[in-house]
Amino acid sequence: VLKKVVESALDGTKIIDLCAMGDKLIDENVKHLFVKSKNIIKGIAFPTCVSVNNVICHFSPLSSDDEGTESLKNGDLVKIQLGAQVDGYAAIVATTIVVGASKENPVKGLLADLLTAAHLSSEAALRLIKPGLKNTKVTETIQKIARAFNMNSVEGMLSYQQEKNNIEGKKQVILNPSETQKREFAEAEFGENEVYGVDILISTGEGKPRPSVKRTTVYKKTDHTYSLKMRASRIVYNEINQTFGSFPFSLRALEDEKKARMGIVECHKHELVNSYDVYQVKEGEFVAQFFNTILLTDDGPTKITSTLYDPESVQSDKKLEDEEILKLLSTTAEVENDGDNNTAEEKATIEVTTEASG
């Protein structure tokens, strides 16, 4: 799915068309999984978001908004994130490309430095998130790599442990924490048979996120309860509950987009849903993202999604010189997975992997 969306991210392509395409492909492909098991719920684990240049994340426009007309152009730095789930087990992936770039026309200069820093940070994280190691080491290493390229990891962004029907589990990894976040953030040790969504976001500037003026369209149901007053809100909430469960969704996916825009307001006000707001950094700055879903086995981490990063289309003239990090990156990032000893969670997650990143 990711590969097809990336291939369609061309000069003149509407962002909303890419988002709709990604969601449609996920829905179509997961239908072919576990067809004999009627009780298994499957579908989108994270709606397709396409965030351009200084927009950090979560941009998935509606056709009823002016933002639905926004298109890509050559030279744009484009982040594409999406995810699929089967039986509550999610595989989420994100990559970053430059529109119009190729092996024959590689990315150079600032954007090449940014993509290289983000890719190496992602690779380092995959080697550090394994049983027995701690989340603080990941945070420190990613910021070291970012600074080596005169970049910063985006402040306060989180990677989460993933569980059945929950993509935001207890254990977390934080990027570039503020002093307050450092004091409040819990140190954690990674354990066997855990699943993590490793979300790496690197900025060419200070990496200070701020709310965007772009409309929030992605939400996720909570466990809170409240008796909604408006009929439109009740209809929308019932559809959310029956269709999406505990996974994020786009208002675009609801039956009536305009009614969804109205009904979601009361749902959000009373915390029946959480919002995935659109964030950005300063105009003129850029953010790159790579997101992998990994399994931690007793032998080490197993990467189950692919960001499709192509180093031959990126030419940075900066080099990483930290010997400790270079040694880390020279090691194998993951173990081969033959599937024989996987837990039920691992098997379900592996099944959905090809639908998210294939």
Closest CA to 142 of 320, 357, 331: 320
Kindly report the CATH number that applies to the domain delimited by 222-274.
1.10.10.10
Per-residue pLDDT, 356: 57
Query: Both ends of the chain: CA-CA distance in Å?
Result: 5
**Over the chain (358 residues), what is each successive 10-residue block's mean pLDDT?**
97 98 96 78 96 99 92 98 96 98 97 99 96 97 98 98 97 96 95 97 98 97 97 97 96 96 98 98 98 92 93 96 97 63 47 51
Percent of the chain with pLDDT over 70: 93
pLDDT tens readout for residues 113-137: 999 999 999 999 999 999 999 999 9
CA atoms within 13 Å, Cβ hemisphere of 50: 29
Per-residue pLDDT, 121: 98
pLDDT tens readout for residues 160-171: 999 999 999 999
Q: Where are the domains of the chain?
A: 2-214+277-357, 222-274
Q: Is the pTM of this model over 0.85?
A: yes
Q: Is the dihedral of CA 222, 5, 162, 244 positive or negative?
A: positive
- Between CA 332 and CA 328 the distance in angstroms is 9
- Between CA 232 and CA 268 the distance in angstroms is 13
Architecture of the 2-214+277-357 domain: Alpha-Beta Complex (3.90)
CB-based contact 333:303 (threshold 8 Å): yes
